[in-house]
Amino acid sequence: MESHSNSGGARTKLDLLYHEVLGEVAGLVGRLESATQILDAAQKQMQTMNEAQQALPQQLSRHLTTTIETAAKPINQHAQHAIQTMLDDTSTRLDQLARNAAQYASIALRSARRMALIALVVGGAAGILGGLLAGLALGQILIY
Tens-digit pLDDT profile for residues 89-110: 999 999 999 999 999 999 999 9
> Is the pLDDT confidence value at 1 over 50?
no
What percent of the chain lies above the pLDDT cut of 70? 93
Which pLDDT value is given to residue 2?
46
Tens-digit pLDDT profile for residues 75-86: 999 999 999 999
Which pLDDT value is given to residue 9?
63
For the chain, what is the HEC assignment? Answer: CHHHHHHHHHHHHHHHHHHHHHHHHHHHHHHHHHHHHHHHHHHHHHHHHHHHHHHHHHHHHHHHHHHHHHHHHHHHHHHHHHHHHHHHHHHHHHHHHHHHHHHHHHHHHHHHHHHHHHHHHHHHHHHHHHHHHHHHHHHHHHHC
Flag whether the pTM goes above 0.85: no
Residue 128 pLDDT class (50, 70, 90 cuts): very high
